[in-house]
Amino acid sequence: MPQMAPTLWLPLFITLSFILTWMSSIMYFFLVCSTEPSTMTLITQKKHWLW
């Protein structure tokens, strides 16, 4: 059983770290958007250019 532990914990740790990074990036994005109206305008303009 102890030999199996690293094999099980590694994907779980990777998934957790990925989710945490993803969530923190989204939180940072919303924080920047709420605090900086110019950034939001810039993103909207960029989206407008993309579409």
pLDDT at 17: 94
Place of tokens 């939001």: 40
d(CA 31, CA 23): 12
Residue 15 has pLDDT above 80, yes or no: yes
- The pLDDT confidence band at residue 34, using thresholds 50, 70 and 90, is confident
pLDDT at 23: 93
* This prediction's pTM: 0.46
Cβ neighbours, 10 Å, residue 43:
14
pLDDT at 49: 56
Show Cβ contacts of residue 32 under 8 Å, excluding neighbours closer than 6 positions.
Answer: 39
Average pLDDT over residues 10-25: 92
The percent of residues above 70 in pLDDT, for the chain, comes to 55
